[in-house]
Amino acid sequence: MTVESTAARKTTRGGGKRATAKKASPAKKKAVAPAPAEAEQDQLVQLLTPEGERVEHPEYSIDLSAEELRGLYRDMVLTRRFDAEATTLQRQGELGLWASLLGQEAAQIGSGRALRDDDYVFPTYREHGVAWCRGVDPTNLLGMFRGVNNGGWDPNSNNFHLYTIVIGSQTLHATGYAMGVQKDGADSAVIAYFGDGASSQGDVAESFTFSAVYNAPVVFFCQNNQWAISEPTEKQTRVPLYQRARGYGFPGVRVDGNDVLACLAVTKAALERARSGEGPTLVEAFTYRMGAHTTSDDPSRYRRDEEREAWEAKDPILRLRTYLLNEGFADQAYLDSVEEESEALGKRVREVVRAMPDPDNMAIFENIYADGHALVDEERAQFAAYQASFVDAEEN
């Protein structure tokens, strides 16, 4: 029953036809609060409709060159290709797990391309598109999913922190980092990614409180992909998530998360706000998790195919491709070249992952402490001696 009504609602909202509607709708003057679906539609920022039609928004605008537009398209296609390759590699036993971003490319590429090099990103474990934008080699993301490390890249090389698996923890790190930026007198901004499920976590609430109280230069980018494993957003909140910001004293905005242009424009504005000392913003990117939560999940147990099909019509890549072709910003030859590039990426990822060696046994004892620890030293020596005893036995 719940699933049915959810599906019915979701097919009616976020469709994009209301993109230019004014915020102050007469409905708000009613004594009774408007139904959620109605209010949400009013607030959805959109610049590119699912049909690939460019629309204007009273508050957010964007003006990109044909090259920049093609770049966004390329980013999304390559990210999706990488993601598909990772899913395949999991199915082949090369990865232990994969958390697919399928469907969320626009939210991630749009927000990721809004960042400056000196900005800092605190991701969840699904921000493969943002990692791409930051220049993190995609194969670096796969180490933890293959089980050869628990992170593995240098966060400071690309200002892209490690993936965080504990839900919502990173929003506090982002806030603290932003407080540090503020103390340094720098004009960088920080962005924290999280999802609709994480919005229920205490750490997320505390990060809202801290960032608001200290006016920290942080953008909270919530990808509301409608599902926290099997639980729909209705199990997390009674109000649209972006509205939560108001209670903390900073603005919240809901953007069409499948519209890369809107995500870029809205994130850029939020980052600019942070830079100029106006404090945090909550961006709710309204999107959809097209795949399973992870490769271990089976969505057929809790959601209907019709819901997914409705969202397929809002595909982020499809709408940008339509726009590029219709406006003459790209031709078929360009699309083909991106396709070719994506196949090459898939091949490279496959090769690198298959060749990725298991870590040395002694890696268990490495990097636990920066300044060393007597117990670790003792256990390392004991374990090394234990292992060496087998070698001796073989030699004898």
Report the interface residues with other proteins, using CB under 8 A. 122, 149-156, 161-162, 164, 166, 169, 171-181, 183-184, 202-203, 206-207, 209-210, 213, 366-371, 373-376
Are 111 and 191 in contact by the 8 Å Cβ rule? The answer is yes
Closer CB to other proteins, 184 or 358, in the complex: 184
For the beta carbon of residue 247, count every other beta carbon within 10 angstroms.
Answer: 13
Closer CB to other proteins, 77 or 179, in the complex: 179
CB of 209 to other proteins, least distance (A): 5
CB of 99 to other proteins, least distance (A): 17
Q: Please compute, for residue 128, the number of CA atoms within 13 A of its CA located in the half-sphere on the CB side.
A: 29
Are 117 and 159 in contact by the 8 Å Cβ rule? The answer is yes
Are 82 and 349 in contact by the 8 Å Cβ rule? The answer is yes
Write down the catalytic residue from 13, 214, 302, 380.
302
| Burial (CB count within 10 angstroms: exposed 0-12, middle 13-18, buried 19+), residue 5 | exposed
Closer CB to other proteins, 190 or 345, in the complex: 190
Are 337 and 343 in contact by the 8 Å Cβ rule? The answer is no
CA distances from 38 to 14, 56, 98, 251, 389 (A): 10, 20, 36, 20, 71
Question: Per this entry, what is the length of the chain?
Answer: 396
Q: Would you list the DSSP string of 341-356?
A: HHHHHHHHHHHHHHHP
CB of 215 to other proteins, least distance (A): 13
CB of 189 to other proteins, least distance (A): 13
CA distances from 115 to 211, 220, 268, 269, 380 (A): 19, 13, 7, 11, 43
Closer CB to other proteins, 158 or 342, in the complex: 158
CB of 83 to other proteins, least distance (A): 22
CB of 372 to other proteins, least distance (A): 9
Write down the catalytic residue from 57, 74, 273, 293.
293
Closer CB to other proteins, 82 or 122, in the complex: 122
Closer CB to other proteins, 106 or 190, in the complex: 190
Chain centre distance of CA 58: 26
Q: Is 302 a catalytic residue?
A: yes
What φ, ψ does residue 278 adopt, rounded to 5°?
-95, 0
Tokens of 83: 């993601």
CB of 212 to other proteins, least distance (A): 9
Which ranges in the chain belong to alpha helices (H)? Answer: 2-12, 36-43, 66-91, 105-112, 128-134, 138-141, 143-146, 155-158, 169-184, 202-214, 244-248, 260-275, 305-312, 316-327, 332-355, 374-395
Closer CB to other proteins, 70 or 173, in the complex: 173
Q: Provide the annotated active-site residues.
A: 289, 293, 302
